[in-house]
Amino acid sequence: MQLVFATNNRHKLEEVATKIKGEFKLLTLNDIGCTDDIEETGTTFKENASIKSHYIYQKYKLNCFGDDSGLEIDALNGEPGVYSARYAGEHGNHAANISKVLQNLTGETNRKARFRTVISLIWNGEEHFFDGTVEGQIRTATSGTAGFGYDPIFEPDGYNITFAEMSLEQKNSISHRARAMDQLINFLNTVQD
């Protein structure tokens, strides 16, 4: 069984590939010859995930999934949310995004936040959604060099280290993306039995 992951984000690909452990063949956009920039025009994680999976399925007729993820901070009314990757303006400028979050939280005692992932899977033409969340706190400064995005300032509940201080295996056992992927893998196991 093969499945296309509608992303070019190498960090996401690495996390997902580690999670599936070869249970099915994971294809990237490069593997199927897709160099298109799939524009995320949705206002929710669910909409953006669906845009990606529908784009690939309609163009290539391959079973596929897309995801959208982000950081939601209570004191910032859920920001950066769906705009997490471009919170400071330029898409994917992690340092600027982190800086903006820390600046916006200056003097704030409520540091509660969560990472959320929504996966849209299109399997034989039908769409299925999987949602994963991990609760935590926003640190006042960065710590750690692993991971990507907001990992250096996110400390998951029950831990005294950030995602960026964890090994990939440790993060993959508790992360939002891992929790959504567990649901996707369970679903695939039921449809191929």
- Is 151 one of the annotated active-site residues of the chain? no
Give the C-alpha separation, 175 to 37, whole Å.
Answer: 26
Nearest Cα residue to 60 out of 30, 23, 81, 84: 30
Contact 135, 156 (CB under 8 A): yes
Catalytic residue among 31, 37, 67, 68: 68
Give the C-alpha separation, 22 to 54, whole Å.
Answer: 24
Q: Which amino acid is at 156?
A: P
Q: Mind giving me the DSSP string for 43-105?
A: SSHHHHHHHHHHHHHHHH---EEEEEEEEEEGGGTT-BGGGGGGTTSSTT-HHHHHHHHHHHT
* 3-class DSSP state of 8: coil
Residue whose entry in the numeric block shows the structure tokens 């996401």 = 12
Among all residues, which ones are annotated catalytic?
Answer: 68
